[in-house]
């Protein structure tokens, strides 16, 4: 069980890192707008040559 | 894209093509637009390479104002100081952008802003419609940013620095961080606690035990200090003002348990309760966070109402020339010009011109009202006819719009009587537990002083109110997600509890019980005339106008009219197949009298006349939703009383009430009267659920025990309601009530369990018969039982829905 004397501090460091990452995410506004970001990936694509064949195009 | 041409709608805004339609060539394709404004916006979007917007948008944008406003006034240094803040190298401005309907809109505005040279960064929030722009004041100006947004079809206005104040997200962010610390800490401490309790059973050497305790202490301390801080601050504030809030017993319990555990850890004696401490803090912080989210939503609602007003007004100088001034500088007595498609900036009296005004955002009146010289126009109403010259009567806080906002605010601050039962019980319970713990400590002090502290803490641990505060939370969360699957979004935590206790359901008429679309109910042709031929003639004439009543005629024939002239508020005159016709109000159609304005409220008959002789009369009405009567019947089966409160005319309301079987109704209600009626019902002991849409409903919705908004209504009503129906249908209503009652029932089960458990466990603990590990185990088991019971709501959703639901799911209407 002596290994716990090492493992627990290691796990605490990981928790600390997790906390820091979360704080960073909050501070840099990652949670401010949860919807728009997902659109950016799609929208930044260059316009395909024929717009009609794009899979995300919605039928009217 | 060619579909748009075939369907005859604008490529940009999706409105039907009218007389002002134009076609341009873009990207090798011919596209039709309803007006030059839309064409210009699409042209700019295309030239900026942002065509992706059209593919990803989920809602059609507003029609682009035909004449882009000039924003030059905002570059005036004296004025600009109020809107722009210096930050490092650049200037920062917050802009309010109206017309943002979906994430694609926010994306478009964002990219449009970034396409302005000199803009270093921008971010647009699609939820609040706010944009934050950082720009280099040497390379660009505030006005060019505003113009660019206007050019792509949105209506921007800068937000003054006072209004921005502190970052509104700051409190939210802090709470989120506290929640994270408490959550992470709780998980860790729980893990160590399991080891410690197991060690209690199986034996654990003293060094390891001590080590585990110190580690727990290490993790629990930041949770205690950082995450728990708001509780201590609240407790100190409460004590200073000689009151007692939930924070007081909470802080006391926390400090007691923590310091005892701290002492025990250092002295290697007794028990530690860091797990209870961190868990307690986590769940309380979670509850506070949810409360904060709900509160912030209310603030947003009020903001968006105030946002109805335009940023600029066209003021007439004494010499008759026009100047654009920020609306805050307009004073009573000024002469202003309100053009077609613009929002009236202040309450004013028309001095020249006549037009139809859409006050639906203010009064909920579905048909535009005809107003001429001497009539009053209200700030926030939309001018859908010709230009109006008005004399300003009141501005800012004195306007009707402001009083609606104030009404809304007041209704919001008055919390419904149904304060959360669980919270109240948990509070009472906590106080008693603390008192009990004190009694236990004193008693044991005289009996066996060595066991006093442990017995006291055993009471505190075994009586952890998690079963009380956690149970309702999860029950509500489960019910919320179950309802979401049925198309009902819960936006206020009290809503489900309120629904369960509802006794009366109050409906608004237009857009709620009716579909909000005018249609022709009957055609009475004069003898020797054919009804369908008359309809075709009328459609041809009405095709040139965009009056709401004219929409009922759209798409009814292939005839075309020539030489069409529109008399605002009266009707249309034109030639079809060489014969001269007039369609509109009786007076206009028969006598050509355009002064006898068409009273769209009382008399909804439209007359078609050939050379002054009546050839047909059309009766128009808003159609009842097909599911309305079934839903009402189903609600009545559940023992609910249904009632209609409407701003519309008596005959129409009575008609609707009759056809869906409602006996109680009131017509011609102002928002204030509606609120009073709802209040009096509540005062009479009823629990009132209000279903409605439109801004005029907002105060009523906020004053109700529970409010439900239809998503087709204005965005504002959505946000201010406790529940939002996302389908354009009432079908989910009976399910919601059935569900809420089920949720309430399960919550009551939890309460009974928690009460039983605590009544048994606490006395045992007080007697010193409960070892700490049993206390902790009992507490955890009790919590888990409550959680599992609450989660049944999630699974049982379908079952309870089956009893009442109509099987056919309604497809979401596509934005046309």
DSSP B206-256: HHHHHHHHHHHHHHHHHIIIIITHHHHHHHHHHHHTT---THHHHHHHHHH
- For residue A33, the chain B residues in CB contact (below 8 A) are 106, 123, 125-127
Distance separating alpha carbons of residues B745 and B259, to the nearest angstrom:
39
| Residue B379: closest CA among B364, B404, B401 | B401
Place of tokens 């129409």: B652
How much is the pLDDT for B199?
85
Distance separating alpha carbons of residues B631 and B735, to the nearest angstrom:
10
Identify the three-state secondary structure at position B43: helix
Give me the total of CB pairs closer than 8 Å, taking one residue from chain A and one from chain B.
83
Which residues, numbered 72 to 131 in chain B, qualify as contacts with chain A under a Cβ-Cβ cut-off of 8 Å?
103-104, 106-107, 110, 123-127
Q: Which of B51, B53, B125 sits opposite A33 (nearest CB)?
A: B125
| Residue B503: closest CA among B703, B631, B639 | B639
Q: Which of A31, A35, A54 sits opposite B55 (nearest CB)?
A: A54
Q: Between chains, do A39 and B56 touch, taking CB under 8 Å as contact? A: yes
Confidence of residue B300 (pLDDT cuts 50, 70, 90): low
Highest mean pLDDT among B23-37, B416-430, B717-731: B23-37
For the record, the structure tokens of A38 come out as: 């997902």
For the record, the structure tokens of B707 come out as: 């409010």
Lowest mean pLDDT among B14-23, B150-159, B182-191, B740-749: B14-23
How much is the pLDDT for B217?
94
Strands of the B355-358 sheet, one edge to the other:
B369-371, B355-358, B382-383
Q: What is the mean pLDDT of residues B489-493?
A: 64
Distance separating alpha carbons of residues B521 and B491, to the nearest angstrom:
38
pLDDT at B181 over 90: yes
Distance separating alpha carbons of residues B687 and B418, to the nearest angstrom:
9
Between B539 and B40, where is the model more confident?
B539
Lowest mean pLDDT among B269-278, B288-297, B298-307, B752-761: B298-307
For the record, the structure tokens of B492 come out as: 């206020």
| Residue B251: closest CA among B233, B270, B272 | B233
How much is the pLDDT for B178?
93
Output the pTM of the full model.
Answer: 0.49
Q: Which of B52, B110, B176 sits opposite A47 (nearest CB)?
A: B52
For B126, name the nearest residue in chain A, comparing CA atoms only: A36
Neighbours of B558 (CB within 10 A): 8
Any chain A CB within 8 A of the CB of B184? yes
pLDDT at B179 over 70: yes
Q: For the residues of B400-434, what is the DSSP string, one character each?
A: HHHHHHHHHHHHHHS--S---HHHHHHHHHHHHHH
How much is the pLDDT for B686?
86
Residue B637 Cα distances to B380, B799, B804, angstroms: 41, 18, 11
Residue B739 Cα distances to B486, B499, B633, B733, angstroms: 10, 9, 17, 10
Highest mean pLDDT among B61-65, B316-320, B406-410, B804-808: B316-320
Residue B383's Cβ-count burial label (10 Å; 0-12, 13-18, 19+) is: buried
- For residue A32, the chain B residues in CB contact (below 8 A) are 123, 125, 169
Any chain A CB within 8 A of the CB of B56? yes
- Cβ atoms B210, B272 nearer than 8 A: no
Confidence of residue A18 (pLDDT cuts 50, 70, 90): very high
Any chain B CB within 8 A of the CB of A12? yes
How much is the pLDDT for B223?
93
Torsion of CA B330, B332, B334, B340, to 10 degrees: 70
- B508 catalytic residue (yes or no): yes
Q: What is the mean pLDDT of residues B187-198?
A: 88
Confidence of residue B224 (pLDDT cuts 50, 70, 90): very high
CA angle B399, B601, B393 (to 5 degrees): 20
Q: List the single best residue of B2, B50, B54, B55 to mutate versus A (max A Cβ within 10 A).
A: B55
Distance separating alpha carbons of residues A47 and A26, to the nearest angstrom:
33
Neighbours of B402 (CB within 10 A): 19
For A9, name the nearest residue in chain B, comparing CA atoms only: B215
Q: What is the mean pLDDT of residues B359-367?
A: 55
- For residue A52, the chain B residues in CB contact (below 8 A) are 1
Q: For the residues of B684-724, what is the DSSP string, one character each?
A: TT--EEEEE-SGGGHHHHHHSSEEEEETTS-HHHHHHSSEE
Confidence of residue A21 (pLDDT cuts 50, 70, 90): very high
Q: How far is B694 from chain A (nearest CA, A)?
A: 25
Identify the three-state secondary structure at position B800: helix
**What integer best gives the mean pLDDT of chain B?**
74
How far, in whole angstroms, is CA B716 from its chain's centroid? 5
- Cβ atoms B200, B773 nearer than 8 A: yes
| Residue B734: closest CA among B475, B418, B502 | B502
Distance separating alpha carbons of residues B216 and B237, to the nearest angstrom:
30
By DSSP bridging, strand B664-666 and strand B641-645 are parallel
Q: Between chains, do A23 and B177 touch, taking CB under 8 Å as contact? A: yes
- For residue A40, the chain B residues in CB contact (below 8 A) are 107
How much is the pLDDT for B783?
65
Distance separating alpha carbons of residues B624 and B729, to the nearest angstrom:
11
Buried b (16+ CB within 10 A) or exposed e, B162-172: eebeeeebeeb
The length of chain A, given as a count of residues: 60
How much is the pLDDT for B287?
63
Instruction: For chain A, state the CA radius of gyration.
Output: 22
| Residue B362: closest CA among B647, B72, B758 | B647
How much is the pLDDT for B249?
64
Place of tokens 């001590």: B210
Q: What is the pLDDT of residues B614-658, one digit of tens each?
A: 888 887 777 788 888 888 899 988 888 889 888 777 777 888 888
- For residue A29, the chain B residues in CB contact (below 8 A) are 123, 169
Confidence of residue B664 (pLDDT cuts 50, 70, 90): confident
- Cβ atoms B343, B363 nearer than 8 A: no
Neighbours of B201 (CB within 10 A): 8
Any chain A CB within 8 A of the CB of B180? yes
For the record, the structure tokens of B28 come out as: 């090798």
How much is the pLDDT for B243?
56
The interaxial angle of helices B274-306 and B170-202, nearest 10 deg, is: 160
- Cβ atoms B31, B5 nearer than 8 A: yes
How much is the pLDDT for B727?
59
Distance separating alpha carbons of residues A27 and B225, to the nearest angstrom:
20
Catalytic residue, candidates B508, B622, B697, B722 = B508
pLDDT at B544 over 70: no
Distance separating alpha carbons of residues B567 and B221, to the nearest angstrom:
76
Q: For the residues of B570-590, what is the DSSP string, one character each?
A: TEEEEEETTEEEEEESHHHHH
Identify the three-state secondary structure at position B514: strand
Any chain B CB within 8 A of the CB of A3? no
How much is the pLDDT for B293?
63
Lowest mean pLDDT among B301-305, B343-347, B720-724: B301-305
Buried b (16+ CB within 10 A) or exposed e, B416-428: beeebebeebbbe
Distance separating alpha carbons of residues B776 and B561, to the nearest angstrom:
84
Q: What is the pLDDT of residues B37-92, one digit of tens each?
A: 777 777 777 777 777 777 767 666 666 654 445 666 666 666 666 677 777 777 88
Place of tokens 């999630």: B794
Highest mean pLDDT among B5-19, B57-71, B84-98, B701-715: B84-98
Residue B203's Cβ-count burial label (10 Å; 0-12, 13-18, 19+) is: exposed
| Residue B746: closest CA among B795, B688, B689 | B795
Question: B61: Cβ–Cβ under 8 A, 6 or more apart, which residues?
Answer: B12, B13, B99, B101, B105, B153, B154
How much is the pLDDT for A17?
95
Instruction: For chain B, state the CA radius of gyration.
Output: 32
Distance separating alpha carbons of residues B412 and B391, to the nearest angstrom:
34
Q: What is the pLDDT of residues B240-254, one digit of tens each?
A: 876 555 566 667 777
By DSSP bridging, strand B706-710 and strand B723-725 are parallel
Identify the three-state secondary structure at position B81: coil
| Residue B590: closest CA among B576, B609, B575 | B609
- For residue A24, the chain B residues in CB contact (below 8 A) are none
Q: What is the mean pLDDT of residues B761-783?
A: 74
How much is the pLDDT for B10?
75
Any chain A CB within 8 A of the CB of B216? no
| Residue B421: closest CA among B355, B479, B469, B357 | B469
């Amino acid at each position: 069980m002596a290994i716990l004397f090492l493992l627990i501090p290691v796990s605490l460091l990981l928790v600390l890192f997790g906390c820091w990452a979360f704080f960073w995410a909050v501070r840099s506004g990652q949670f401010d707008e949860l919807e728009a970001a997902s659109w950016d990936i799609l929208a930044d694509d260059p316009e395909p040559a024929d717009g009609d064949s794009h899979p995300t195009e919605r039928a009217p | 894209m060619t579909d748009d041409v075939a369907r005859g709608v604008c490529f940009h805004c999706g409105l039907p093509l009218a007389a002002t339609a134009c076609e341009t060539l873009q990207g090798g394709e011919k596209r039709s637009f309803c007006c030059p404004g839309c064409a210009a916006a699409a042209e700019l979007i295309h030239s900026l390479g942002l065509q992706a917007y059209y593919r990803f948008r989920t809602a059609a944008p507003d029609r682009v104002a035909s004449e882009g406003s000039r924003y030059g006034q905002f570059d005036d240094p004296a004025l600009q100081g109020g809107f722009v803040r210096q930050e490092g190298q650049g200037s920062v401005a917050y802009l309010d952008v109206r017309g943002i309907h979906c994430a694609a809109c926010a994306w478009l505005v964002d990219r449009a802003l970034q396409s302005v040279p000199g803009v270093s960064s921008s971010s647009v929030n699609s939820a609040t419609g706010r944009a934050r722009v950082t720009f280099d004041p040497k390379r660009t100006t505030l006005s060019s940013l505003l113009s660019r947004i206007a050019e792509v079809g949105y209506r921007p206005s800068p937000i003054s620095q006072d209004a921005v104040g502190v970052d509104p997200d700051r409190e939210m962010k802090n709470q989120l961080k506290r929640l994270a610390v408490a959550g992470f800490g709780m998980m860790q401490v729980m893990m160590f606690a399991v080891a410690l309790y197991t060690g209690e059973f199986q034996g654990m050497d003293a060094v390891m035990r001590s080590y585990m305790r110190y580690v727990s202490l290490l993790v629990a301390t930041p949770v205690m200090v950082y995450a728990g801080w708001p509780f201590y601050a609240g407790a100190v504030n409460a004590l200073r003002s000689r009151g007692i809030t939930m924070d007081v017993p909470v802080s006391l319990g926390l400090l007691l348990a923590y310091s005892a555990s701290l002492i025990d850890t250092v002295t290697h004696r007794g028990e530690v309760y860091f797990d209870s401490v961190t868990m307690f803090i986590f769940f309380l912080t979670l509850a506070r966070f949810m409360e904060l989210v709900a509160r912030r939503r209310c603030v947003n609602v009020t903001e968006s109402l105030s946002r109805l007003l335009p940023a600029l007004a066209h003021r007439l100088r004494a010499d008759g020339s026009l100047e654009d001034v920020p609306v805050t500088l307009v004073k009573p007595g000024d002469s202003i010009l309100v053009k077609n498609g613009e929002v009236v900036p202040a309450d004013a009296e028309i001095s020249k011109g006549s037009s139809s005004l859409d006050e639906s955002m203010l009064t909920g009146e579905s048909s535009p009202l005809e107003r001429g010289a001497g009539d009053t126009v209200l700030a926030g109403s939309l001018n859908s006819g010709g230009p109006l010259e008005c004399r300003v009567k009141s501005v800012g806080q004195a306007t009707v719009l402001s009083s609606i906002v104030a009404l809304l605010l007041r209704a919001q601050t008055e919390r419904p009587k149904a304060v959360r039962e669980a919270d109240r019980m948990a509070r009472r319970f906590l106080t008693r537990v603390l008192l009990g713990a004190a009694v236990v400590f004193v008693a044991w002090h005289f009996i066996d002083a060595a066991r006093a502290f442990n017995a006291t803490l055993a009471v505190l641990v075994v009586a952890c109110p998690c079963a009380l505060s956690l149970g309702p939370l999860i029950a509500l969360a489960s019910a919320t997600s179950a309802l979401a699957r049925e198309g009902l979004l819960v936006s206020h935590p009290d809503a489900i509890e309120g629904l369960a206790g509802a006794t009366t359901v109050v409906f608004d008429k237009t857009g709620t019980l009716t579909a909000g679309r005018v249609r022709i109910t009957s055609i009475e042709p004069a003898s020797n005339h054919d009804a369908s031929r008359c309809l075709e003639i009328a459609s041809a004439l009405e095709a040139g106008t965009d009056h709401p009543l004219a929409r009922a005629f759209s798409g009814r024939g292939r005839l075309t009219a020539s030489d069409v002239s529109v008399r605002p508020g009266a009707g249309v005159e034109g030639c079809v197949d060489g014969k001269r016709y007039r369609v509109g109000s009786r007076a206009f159609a028969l006598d050509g009298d355009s002064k006898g304005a068409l009273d769209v409220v009382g008399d909804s008959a439209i007359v078609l006349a050939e050379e002054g002789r009546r050839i047909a009369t059309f009766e128009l009405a808003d159609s009842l939703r097909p599911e309305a009567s079934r839903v009402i019947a189903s609600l009545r089966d559940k023992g609910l009383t249904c009632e209609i409160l409407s701003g519309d005319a008596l005959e129409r309301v009575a008609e609707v009430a009759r056809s869906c079987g409602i006996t109680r109704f009131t017509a011609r209600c102002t928002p204030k009267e509606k609120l009073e009626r709802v209040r009096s019902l509540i005062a009479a002991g009823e629990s009132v659920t209000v279903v409605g849409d439109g801004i005029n409903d907002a105060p009523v919705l906020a004053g109700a025990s529970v409010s439900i908004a239809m998503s087709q209504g204005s965005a504002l009503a959505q946000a201010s309601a406790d529940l939002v129906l996302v389908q354009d249908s009432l079908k989910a209503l009976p399910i919601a009530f059935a569900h809420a009652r089920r949720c309430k029932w399960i919550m009551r089960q939890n309460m009974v369990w928690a009460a039983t458990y605590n009544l048994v466990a606490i006395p045992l603990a007080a007697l010193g018969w409960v070892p700490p590990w049993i206390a902790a185990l009992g507490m955890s088991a009790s919590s888990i039982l409550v959680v599992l019971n609450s989660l049944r709501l999630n699974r049982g959703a379908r079952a309870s829905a089956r009893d009442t639901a109509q099987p056919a799911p309604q497809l979401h209407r596509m934005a046309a």
